[in-house]
Structure 1
Amino acid sequence: MPEAKKLKFLFAINPISGGQDKSVWETGIQEFFEKQPHSADLFLLDGKTDQEKLPQRIASFQPDRLVAVGGDGTIKMVAEHALNANLPLGILPAGSANGMARELGIPPALADSLEVVVNGTAKPIDLICINGTEHCLHLSDIGMNAQLVKYFDEGNMRGKLGYARGVLRVLMRRRLLNLQIHLGDHVVRRSAFMVVLANARMYGTGAIINPDGDVADGKFEVVVIRKLSFLAILRMFIRFRPFDPSHIEIFPATSVQIVTKRKAYFQIDGEYRGKIREIAAEIWPGKLQVILPD
């Protein structure tokens, strides 16, 4: 019987994702690979030179798999490099909100997720290409949640307390958006608190925004939240309950253009992207290979 191929794994580690020290993760990865025939290289992200240095490390190490160690923002960034290098993406969920890992069924414990990275199967998932330059793996949105992401990033508190503080700021400043949503030849005009481009079902908090979402179905959903009472906001952002289906509309799409009357907050996969008045998005079916549980 021929010997199984020895694989090379490059781990791109965000050392501060989730506000926690990742030295335990580094040690755990090294100890795990001491018992493996495969080899592992660890690259610490610094948030400043990653766009230049990570491709250099990929070129010099020539891994068989590129692994993101962090939260949704880290996964998004590393996925871009996996896409450019034509490498399968592995995920170790080490952030404060691990929505994409949860969506894909990747276990949260380090040892279990390492088993998936090494012994799992590469499967294709869809990406949402936004404005021709960025890719969304999970969820992007305009309005209240993007505003919350901005406030959370600016705050000096992490965890549930920092999140709750951001929610209160959003509640005090929430405003309706006047929108035009172009779905092919069909134009929908709405007033809404949020619009979500959903390639998946739920936020990292566990709040379900798109019950029938599937990351590999060749489409995404445009979710319009038209009504949002104080109680509904608390249920979603604090207790992480599903949205009231009578307050939302869901439009399946393969492409969309959204225009707002005034500038609105915008985020992609948990990364705040500033204020926008217009975005265009289209589905890229099966574009990214991700290592998933068998």
Structure 2
Amino acid sequence: MPEVKKLKFLFAINPISGGQDKSAWETEIRTFFEQQPHSADLFLLDGKNDDIELPKRIETYQPDRLVAVGGDGTIKFVAEHALNAKIPLGIIPAGSANGMARELDIPPTLEGSLEVLINGVEKPIDLICINGTEHCLHLSDIGMNAQLVKYFDEGKMRGKLGYARGVLRVLMRRRLLKLQINTGDSVVQRTAFMVVLANARMYGTGAIINPDGDVADGKFEVVVIRKLSLVAILRMFIHFRPFDPKHIEIFSASSVHIVTKRRAYFQIDGEYRGKIRELTAEIWPGHLQVVLPA
């Protein structure tokens, strides 16, 4: 039998993602690798000097795969460093919302996702490059959901109660946006509650926003939520049901330029980025290698 290639894994762990202590996870990861021909090193993210310290650890350890242990925000952060180091990204879903892991069929359990890291295959997925400086792996949006992300981040409550409180604040303060959307093929004026740049199908909650999305098809979708009743809002944000397709307009694009009449809330992969009036986005096909189920 051919000798198994011994791989080095560097785990970048968010110790508080999903509001859960990850110390037991650290033990389980170390125990798992004691039974493997491969090796693992663990790096705990602290939210302070990670941009400096994680590249140092990558340079020192020289891993074959860089693994994000956390939610969508952690995955986005670690993916940026995997890109810079030109190494594949592995994913262990451990957040309160694990939309990207669900999109890529990564098992939700630690044991299952570790098995994928060892026995899975490296496949390329697309990225959306935003304003030439940031990458979106999953979903970014302008408007109501970004406003909800901001309120959730600001709140002291976590879990479903904190989420529900954020939804109520959004309901009381929701406003329509007036936008110009230029996809290169067409320029349209729209009034909407929310515009999504979708590289995938669903939010981490399971709410489907882009039914035909595909992270590896060389394009993304601009999803315009033009009509949003109270019932529709509750269906999406509380019961995580798909939007009524009659109230949604979807543009398939390889690039887009969006201008809003007034400043609007904006988020990328679950990370609030402030208020904006303008953005440019383009697809980067197959730009990130990810370890996926075989």
Q: SS state of the match for residue 83, structure 2?
A: helix
SS of the aligned residue for 1:69 comes to: strand
Secondary structure of 2:240's counterpart equals coil
- Give 2:165's aligned amino acid: R
Gaps of 5+ in 2: none
Q: Which residue of 1 aligns with 2:13?
A: 13
Shift of residue 164 of structure 1?
0.2
Q: Which runs of 5+ in 1 are unaligned?
A: none
Question: In the alignment, does 2:168 pair up with 1:168?
Answer: yes
Shift of 1:243: 0.3
Report deviation, 1:74. Answer: 0.2
Q: CA deviation at 1:212?
A: 0.1
Deviation of 1:246 after TM superposition, in Å, equals 0.3
Does residue 214 of structure 1 match 2:187? no
Structure 2 SS opposite 1:160: helix
- Residue of structure 2 in register with 1:146 after alignment: 146
Distance in 1, matches of 2:155 and 2:225, equals: 26
Partner of 2:178: 178
Rounded to whole Å, the distance in 2 between the matches of 1:130 and 1:261 is: 19
Q: For 1:205 and 1:128, locate their aligned partners in 2 and report how far apart those are by CA, in whole Å.
A: 21
Counterparts of 1:121-270 in structure 2 under 5 Å? 121-270=121-270
Counterpart-to-counterpart distance in 1, 2:28 and 2:188: 50
Q: Which residue of 2 aligns with 1:100?
A: 100
> Normalising to structure 2: TM-score of the pair?
0.99
The code of the aligned residue for 2:11 comes to F
Q: Which amino acid aligns with 2:7?
A: L
1 CA distance for matches of 2:185 and 2:107? Answer: 42
1:88 aligns with 2:99: no
What CA distance in whole angstroms lies between the structure 2 residues aligned with 1:213 and 1:25? Answer: 32
1:242 counterpart letter in structure 2: P
Q: Indicate the residue corresponding to 2:61 in structure 1.
A: 61
Q: Distance in 2 between matches of 1:283 and 1:228?
A: 28
In 1, distance between residues paired with 2:99 and 2:87? 22
What amino acid sits opposite 2:198 in the alignment?
Answer: A
- Find the aligned partners of 1:30 and 1:208 in 2 and give their Cα distance: 36
Amino acid at match of 1:125: I
Secondary structure of the 1:267 match is strand
The amino acid across from 1:209 in the alignment is I
Report the count of equivalent residues: 294
Q: How far, CA to CA, are the matches of 1:183 and 1:242 in structure 2?
A: 25
Aligned-pair distance for 1:2? Answer: 3.4
Match of 2:118 in 1: 118
Structure 1 runs of 4+ with >2 Å offset = none
Give distance in 1, aligned partners of 2:158 and 2:2: 50
- SS of the equivalent of 2:96 reads coil
Per the TM alignment, residue 185 of structure 1 is displaced from its structure 2 partner at its CA by 4.6
Identity %: 84
The one-character-per-residue Cα deviations of 1:221-240 (angstroms, maximum 9, x if unpaired) are: 00000000001000000000
Q: TM-score, structure 1 length as denominator?
A: 0.99
CA distance in 2, matches of 1:128, 1:257: 13
Residue by residue over 1:220-272, the C-alpha shift from the partner in whole angstroms, topping out at 9 and shown as x without a partner, is 00000000000100000000000000000000000000000000000000000
In the alignment, which residue of structure 1 is the partner of 2:38?
38
Root mean square deviation, CA, Å: 0.6
